[in-house]
Structures are given as structure tokens and as C-alpha cells.
Structure 1
Amino acid sequence: MNNRTPGWLGFLSLVTFSALMAAPLLWLVLTSLKTPEQMASEPYSWWPSPIRWQNYSDAVTAIPFFRYLANTLILCVGNVVGTLISCSLAAYAFARLRWPGRDVLFAVLIATMLLPWQVTMVPRFLVIRELGLYDTLGALIVPKFLGEAFYIFLLRQFFLTVPQSLIDAARLDGCSEVGILMRVMLPLCKPALLTVGLLEFVATWNDYGGPLLYLNDPERFPLAYGLEQFISSHSSELNLLLAAAVLFTLPIALLFAVLQRAFLSGIATTGMKG
């Protein structure tokens, strides 16, 4: 009995902690289904009475929700593709190719992770403007094709776990470095690629600073920026605000629920070898 006590205590602690973490999300969903009258008379009650599903249709029609959603999906797909292409190429070069200054340049790359986004905000804006990309979705997509330090580091760590014998065998068969990357490395590194893709998808979905800096036309706003506009214009309608927040959060929650096993596997494996 004594041997089982710590296990039960650990299980109880996990359940309690999970319930505390889930409580705000549960309150968000339930409150989004309340009527304005109940919000005013019973602001601290949990259960909606009656349940008002119309809040969601009102939230969708109050702003051009589907246009914002389309812009967000375009950004997410473009950024994920750009990130996977550029970061996998750079990671393979740092992990498996030998060239002068590789380690020094990699150290510089890691050092850039310490720089906050605000430090490079003005130079990036000037470059984007000179390229003629200002107020276009390309201003947020094109930079992703130039690589990102954290994802390069993550993929490099995974590439280092691939046995060198497989790469040497491919080279003996006459395979080029690009061919090795495409036919050997990437098929073996699907968990890491999925992890990077999911992280970038979530980062793009939640990005507010980028659209605020580079976009001016409301026709090109993504959901994150559109939600802020919705909050400004409907600040007194809390039930609609929460319904919009649920609609914004739901796709990411479902995506993580579906890909959670592969995501956790990719995160765990990237730390196997330094």
C-alpha cells in the first residue's frame, strides 16, 4: 500500500493541475454561449442558461471572418513551406557538410536567437519597403524563405542523429548532396519536419506584430489582427468577443490534438545528440 501511495499522489497532482489549466478554457467556451442578459445579471456563473449558439454566427458576421481566415491560411501555408525548405537546406549544410567557417557561422546563427524581434524591426521594414512588398502578404511570407535560427538549430540536431553510414553509402552510389537530403535525410526526419511545420503554423496563426507592421489594407488582414479590430469595435459585447476567441483558438487546438504524438516525438528526438 505504501509503495502505491506516491503513484496515487502523483496521479492526483496531475489531475488537479490539468483541471486548473483547463478551467480558463472551459470558462471561455461556456461564457461564449451566454446571452447578453445573463452576462449582465450573472457574470460569475459558469453554465449558460439558455445556451445561445447565435453568438458564433453573430461573431462571424460582425467582421469579414472568412476573408481574414483565408488570408491567415495563405500566410500559414506559405510560411510553413518557406521555413521547411530554407531551414532544412541550412540545417543539412551545418550538420553534414564540411566547409571553412562552418562552426563560427553556426555560433553566430545561434547568437542571433538572443536578439528580440524589436531590434531588427526597423531594418526589416526598410528592406521590405525597398523590395516593394509593403502592404502585401509577401512581406510576411518571403522572409521565411531565408531561414530562421531556431528551426535551423532544431533540424540540425535531428540530422545529427542520422547514421553517417547511410550518408556515406548514398555518396558511394553517386548521389549528390541535394539527393542525399531529399532521399535519405528528409524521409528519416519526418517527425522533426512535422514539429517545425507545426511550430511555424502556430506562430504564423498567432502573429500580430508582423501584420501590424507590414499591412495597411484591411482586405489583407489575418485573423489575429482582425480579432483585435473586432475587440476595438465590440468591446461591450463580451459574449461575442469570447465566441470570436473560441473560433480563433479552436483550429489550433484541433491541429495539436491530431498531431500531438508526432509533435512530441519530434521534440524529444531533436535533443538526442548535440
Structure 2
Amino acid sequence: MTATVERPASRPRTGRRQPWKGRPERPPRGIGRHALLGGIALLWLIPLLWAVYTSLRSYEDTASNGYFSLPRSFGVDNYTDAWTQSGMPHFFWNSVLITVPAVLGTLLFSAAV
């Protein structure tokens, strides 16, 4: 005669491993790594944000109050002055005249393959 063994009903798996009874649950892995990478990202961003901050201030405000002061107002006058005084439109159109035909030629020849 054959004996039939019934298995007890198991609990449904939730996808998360249950901690051992005698040991506290470990914190999730990677918290230290993410904190370190976040700190490095902030250290990398600080000089960039500082450059943008100082570029939006007027020269007179920076000269009279120094770099480590709150500005009276923000403006894009430095960018417009740099654009017009440096001849940037000429260089921009030179780049457009080289880039647009190069991209269109690449698309045309790669579509023909």
C-alpha cells in the first residue's frame, strides 16, 4: 500500500526575505554608497552653480560688494554683452554652415545603404 504525505500549506511569498528571529534586520545595502555619490555630486555642482550665480550679477555690484555678497538684482546683460562684443553670431553661423550639411549628408548616405 502507498502512503500519501500531505504538505502543510505554505505562506505566500512576498518577495522579501524574512529576518531571522534572533537577529535584528539589516539596513538596506547601498545607503552609504548613495550618500557618498550624492556628496561627490554636490561637490562637483557647487563650482558650476557658483559660476552661473556670478555670471548673472552685474560687474558693478560684484566690484562694490565682492563675490560673497547677495546681489541687488540678477540679469543677463553679461551674456548679451559677451554675445555682441565677441563676434559670436559670426562664429555661430560658421558652425551652422558646417554642421547642417554634414548631418544631412550623413543621413542621406546612411539611408541609401
Give TM-score scaled by structure 1 length: 0.27
CA RMSD of aligned residues (A): 3.0
Q: Distance in 2 between matches of 1:81 and 1:46?
A: 49
Unaligned runs of 5+ in 1: 89-177, 183-274
Unmatched 5+ stretches in structure 2: 1-24
Q: Is 2:58 the partner of 1:42?
A: no
Q: Find the counterpart in structure 1 of residue 81 from structure 2.
A: 58
Alignment of 1:33 with 2:56, yes or no, is yes
Q: Give the partner amino acid of 1:2.
A: R
Following the alignment from structure 1 to structure 2, what is the Cα–Cα distance between the partners of residues 70 and 28?
27
How far apart are residue 79 of structure 1 and its match?
A: 4.1
Looking at structure 2, the residues matched to 75 and 51 of structure 1 have their Cα atoms a distance apart, in angstroms, of 35
Question: What letter matches 2:90 in structure 1?
Answer: R
- Residue matched to 1:67: 90
Identical amino acids, percent of aligned pairs: 30
Tell me, yes or no, if the aligned pair for 2:56 and 2:76 is still in contact at 8 Å.
Answer: yes
Higher relative contact order (CA 8 A, sep 6+): 1
Please list, as runs of the form range in 1=range in 2, the aligned pairs for 1:198-213 lying within 5 A after superposition. Answer: none
Alignment of 1:124-135 (within 5 A): none
Q: TM-score, structure 2 length as denominator?
A: 0.57
Give the aligned residue type for 2:77.
Q
The structure with more radius of gyration:
2
Whether the aligned pair in 2 keeps the contact of 1:35 and 1:52 (CA below 8 Å) is yes
- Secondary structure at the counterpart of residue 12 of structure 1: helix
**Contact between 2:58 and 2:77, CA under 8 Å: does it hold in 1?**
no
Q: Is 1:24 matched with 2:47? A: yes
| Structure-2 residue corresponding to 1:10 | 33
Residues 31, 46 of structure 1: 8 Å contact kept: no
CA shift digits 1:202-259 (9 cap, x unpaired): xxxxxxxxxxxxxxxxxxxxxxxxxxxxxxxxxxxxxxxxxxxxxxxxxxxxxxxxxx
How many aligned residue pairs are there? 88
CA gap of 1:80–1:48, structure 2 versus 1, over 3 A, is farther
Q: For 2:30, what is the secondary structure of its paired residue? A: helix
